Structures are given as C-alpha cells and as structure tokens.
Chain A
C-alpha cells in the first residue's frame, strides 16, 4: 500500500518547509508537462538557493525532484534518441517502440511526481523509487 507510515500532519498547521516542498514537486511536474527545461532551471535555482538553510522536509523533496528530473531527462530524451538512431527514422517499428516507450516512461514519471506532490501537500517526506537516489 503506497501510504505513509508517518503520523499524519494536522490539517491546521503546516510543517516547516512545506511550501518549498510543494514548490519543488510542482516544478518537477511542470518540467514534465508544461515547460520542459525552463521549469528544470527554476528547480535548480530553488535547490541551490535553499539547499543549506531549508528544513529537512523541503531539502528531501528538492533533492528527490532534482534527481528524478535528471533521470527523466536521460530516460525521455537520450533513450528515445538512441531508439530512433538505432531503429531508423523511417521504420514502423521504431515509432511503435518510441511512442510506447515515451508514453509509458513519461506517464510513470508523472505519476511518481503526483504521489510526491500529494506527500508534500500532506507535509510528509517522499522518496522517488528508482529515480530518486542520484544525489547524496
């Protein structure tokens, strides 16, 4: 069950760093869905601006989203370019694989971001499975 083992945060009080955590998760999703690149730059700025003084909750979300964004870049851009380069631009099967792969990988990354955002909104930490451990 993908539910948190932590005690639920109260509806009334926001834990320290929750705003930053929500901003990081939102930028991760915006990078995937709306403004690729630009939102990633904003996330980078957020990370370097607050990494030393942010509360633990915010730090965790910023690190996780940055790591997942870097993985997303590799999985969505580099892997697809490789498939096209190896399979040939004019081949039917290249496009069957590229579209299926891109849709599946992109959607998985978006769903992970959605779960991260839901955790941030609840004031809880979140670790991205597989793509969330790149940073120290």
Chain B
C-alpha cells in the first residue's frame, strides 16, 4: 500500500525516535520508583534529582517528537498537498535527536552545576528550574527546530486546503513555540520567576497542547469512523473553546501560594474547576463519533487508543486535576503525592495516549500496509490494557500515599516531618513500583507488536492432504 502523499514518510523516524525515548523515560521511571524506597539505589552514579530530570525531560522530548511526527503525517493529507520541504523535516529530525541525546548524556555524565558553567548559563541564566532544566544551547536548539518546523508546516498549510484540523493544529504548534520563549525569562524575583514559569508549563499542557491533542484525535476519528467532517469540526470548535476559556485563567490554580495577589485563589478555583469540561466533551466526542461511524475500520487498535485517550484524559486531567484544584483543598494537598498521581495519569491519558493513537493509525501505512496483521493488533491491544490498567493503579497508589501524607504532615495536631512521613508511605511506593513493572511489561508487548506476524494457516485436522508424489 502506498502513502497518499510521499512526503508523509518523514513522520516515520519521528515516531521511531518517540518510542525509543518513551522506553528510556519508563526505565528512568522505574529507577526513580525504586529510589523512593531504596534511597541509595544507583547512587552516586544516578542521583534521584538527575533520574527525575531525565524522566520528565525525556517525556517532554518524546511527546514533541510524537507531535512533530503527527503533524508531518496528517498535514499533507489534510491540505491535499506534499510537505513544503521533506528535506528540512529530515534535517530537523537529526538536529533535535542529537541535541536531545547530548542533553541527556550531559545530565548523566556531568554534575549539573558544571554543565551550567560549560553551557553558558552565566551569560543567560535559564537552568535549574523544574522541567526547564535544559542547558542554554539546547533551549536555543529547541527554538530553532520549532521555528523551522513551523515554517515547514505553515508553508504546507498555506499552499494547500485549509481545514479546521490543520488550523487548530497550527494554533497549538504556534502557541507551543511562542510560550516556550518564557523559558528564557528568568527574573531574580522568585515570585515573578514562578509566575512566568507557569506560562510555559501550565499553558502548554492545559492550553495549547490540548489543541494539538484535539486536532490529532479529530484527524484519526475522521479517518477511522468516516463521520462527516462538519460534525467532527463542530465538536472540535466546542472543545477548543472550552479548553482556552477554562485553561488560560485556570493558570491561577498555580498562583495560590507563590506570593501572587489573593484574588487568584478565586479566579484559579472557579476556572480550574471548569477545566474538566473540555475533557468531558472530548470523551463524549470520541464515543459519539465511534457510535456514529459509517465504516468498520480494520485498525481496531487505533480505535481502542482513540477511545482510551478520551476516557483517560478525562480521568487524569479532569477528575484528578479537580480533586486538588480548589484553593481550600490545595492549601492541604499542595506539592504532595496527590500532585504526582494527577501528573502521571494526566500525561499518560492525554498526551502519551494521543501520540500512541496516531502512531497506531499511521505506522502501518508508513510501513506499506493499511493495517497491522491481526496478531500484531491483538498484541497492541494487550499492551493498551496492560499500560492503561497499570497506570490506573499507579495513580491510585500515589493518591493513597498523598492522602496519608496530607494527614500525617498537615492535618494531625502534631504534624510529622517530611522524611518521617515518607517512611510511612513505603508500602504505597512499593505497590506503585510493582504497577510500574507491569507498565514496562505492557511497553515491551507494545514494542513486540511491531514485529509480530500472523502465524501461517495450518491445515485442519482430518483435512485431505495432497498425495505425495
């Protein structure tokens, strides 16, 4: 089977790199999970803070690879034209991959303070902030890659058909690039620093990334259900409106205790309490489209990932976000394992799953066939359930740990110290780690599904055999 547009093939290396980095992220997650209960595990080779940095940075980088791959795959098909420059896309892939790999190697091989000295942090100090730990050259590299990527995608959209999916995708990608610029703004005032730091972190994941999520999901649902484009577009308009209306002012839920004005406790509480609504709409959207489908697409695995994205995004980002978003609740829960529970399920449900959805849909075609063989799909669906169910358990164990932590550290008349409480959470951390192992097993099954072939049909027992000659 041939691709509709030859240039869509550039998506393939992006997807492969995304999956490889995903494996790295989960390996470091397992190391971290063990360090919670065996404090000196792999110390001093991989200290906790470095393992955590690698775990979160790999997540961001592989999701960006996934988003870029998705854009390179879907934009030619939506715009009905070849990509503006496949060569540029290939070049950017290698630049981004080498920069990303060097950054991770730097984290692991060089003490962080030395890395900062070596990479010009004394010229423009941008390092040392959670999720934005990257050295200055890496940050500049990200900007260059993002701009060139936007140029490539933007030119393609300009010369081709304009659809709601491509426009929403472009809005999301432009927002992603523009908001990253706040990573370079690092005022010495700690309140201002945190205030604008959230413009990258929050406005990415609870703002523009949701537009990218909506566009990718809309594209896949359009293809696998055959529902009218207008129906899907109307849903997308509603979802992105709800996302932006709730998510932008919802940033206020990060401003409760950082020294920002007190009115943010009201604004943050009210608007972030509304943030589950777009995720709720996303779930109804996914199931409604599949219920109204006009064709039975043979890629059952992609359909499952798409439906799973709706549900898990609603649970992780919507429900678990709401759980601790109101200011009076957050007063007690702030920075506890409840936040970690929310973070795990929200990232998995919304962004990991949507990238795996587009990979599940596009990868067979990038490999020259409409869908994967039946056995490969069955394995992929097994991996879906293993990873998803284990992530539910990871979330539940972390939530339980968080509730106990709040109680012991912040509720009882004689609150206990942080590390004294951590000791008492060990049982939950062990259970979380075991669930993490199951997640890893699911990922191994997922990887294996790419190489699985249908078994050759064997002759039924008793069936007449041709006579030997």
- A and B assemble together: yes
Q: Which of A1, A93, A118 contacts B303 (CB 8 A)?
A: A1
A117 to B399, CA, bound (A): 29
Q: Which of B303, B314, B396 contacts A114 (CB 8 A)?
A: B314
A9 to B280, CA, bound (A): 23
Residue of B nearest to A6 (CB): B291
Task: Check B407 against A95 for contact (C-beta < 8 Å).
Answer: yes
Residue of A nearest to B284 (CB): A118
Task: Tell me what chain A mostly uses at the interface: helix, strand, loop, or mixed.
Answer: helix
Say yes or no: is A84 at the interface (Cβ < 8 Å to chain B). no
Task: Check B291 against A8 for contact (C-beta < 8 Å).
Answer: yes
A11 to B323, CA, bound (A): 37
Say yes or no: is B37 at the interface (Cβ < 8 Å to chain A). no
Task: Check B407 against A118 for contact (C-beta < 8 Å).
Answer: no
Interface centre among B227, B287, B300 (most CB of A within 10 A): B287
Complex interface: chain B residues within 8 A of A111 (CB) = 283, 311, 314-315
Complex interface: chain A residues within 8 A of B344 (CB) = none
Complex interface: chain B residues within 8 A of A119 (CB) = 287, 291
Q: Which of A1, A4, A8, A114 contacts B283 (CB 8 A)?
A: A114
Task: Check A100 against B292 for contact (C-beta < 8 Å).
Answer: no
Interface centre among B280, B291, B303 (most CB of A within 10 A): B291
Q: Which of B303, B307, B396 contacts A100 (CB 8 A)?
A: B396
Residue of A nearest to B320 (CB): A103
Distance from A28 Cβ to chain B, minimum over Cβ atoms (Å) = 13
Task: Tell me what chain B mostly uses at the interface: helix, strand, loop, or mixed.
Answer: helix
Within 8 A of B (CB), among A81-128: 92-93, 95-96, 99-100, 103-104, 107, 110-111, 114-115, 117-119, 121-122, 124
Within 8 A of A (CB), among B374-403: 396, 399-400, 403
Count chain A residues whose beta carbon lies closer than 8 angstroms to a beta carbon of B: 26
Say yes or no: is B294 at the interface (Cβ < 8 Å to chain A). yes
Distance from B410 Cβ to chain A, minimum over Cβ atoms (Å) = 12
Task: Check B291 against A118 for contact (C-beta < 8 Å).
Answer: yes
A74 to B126, CA, bound (A): 53
Known: A92-B404, A95-B403. A2 touches B307 (CB 8 A): yes
Distance from A11 Cβ to chain B, minimum over Cβ atoms (Å) = 6
Say yes or no: is B334 at the interface (Cβ < 8 Å to chain A). no
Task: Check B300 against A122 for contact (C-beta < 8 Å).
Answer: no
Q: Which of B231, B300, B403 contacts A99 (CB 8 A)?
A: B403
Within 8 A of A (CB), among B250-291: 280, 283-284, 286-288, 290-291
Residue of B nearest to A115 (CB): B287
Task: Check A11 against B292 for contact (C-beta < 8 Å).
Answer: yes
Task: Check A3 against B292 for contact (C-beta < 8 Å).
Answer: no
Say yes or no: is B293 at the interface (Cβ < 8 Å to chain A). yes
Complex interface: chain A residues within 8 A of B292 (CB) = 8-9, 11, 122
Say yes or no: is B228 at the interface (Cβ < 8 Å to chain A). yes
- Against B, the Cβ 8 Å flags (1 = close, 0 = not) of A1-41 are 11110001101000000000000000000000000000000
Distance from A15 Cβ to chain B, minimum over Cβ atoms (Å) = 12
- Against B, the Cβ 8 Å flags (1 = close, 0 = not) of A47-69 are 00000000000000000000000
Which residues does A use to contact B, with CB under 8 Å?
1-4, 8-9, 11, 92-93, 95-96, 99-100, 103-104, 107, 110-111, 114-115, 117-119, 121-122, 124
8 nearest CB pairs, A to B: A118-B287, A122-B291, A92-B407, A118-B288, A96-B403, A122-B292, A121-B288, A8-B292
Which residues does B use to contact A, with CB under 8 Å?
227-228, 231, 280, 283-284, 286-288, 290-294, 300, 303-304, 307, 311, 314-315, 319, 323, 396, 399-400, 403-404, 407-408, 412
- Using A3-B291, A11-B227, A122-B291 as known contacts, list a sample of 6 further A-B pairs with CB atoms less than 8 Å apart, ordered by residue number in A: A1-B304, A8-B291, A100-B396, A100-B400, A118-B283, A118-B291
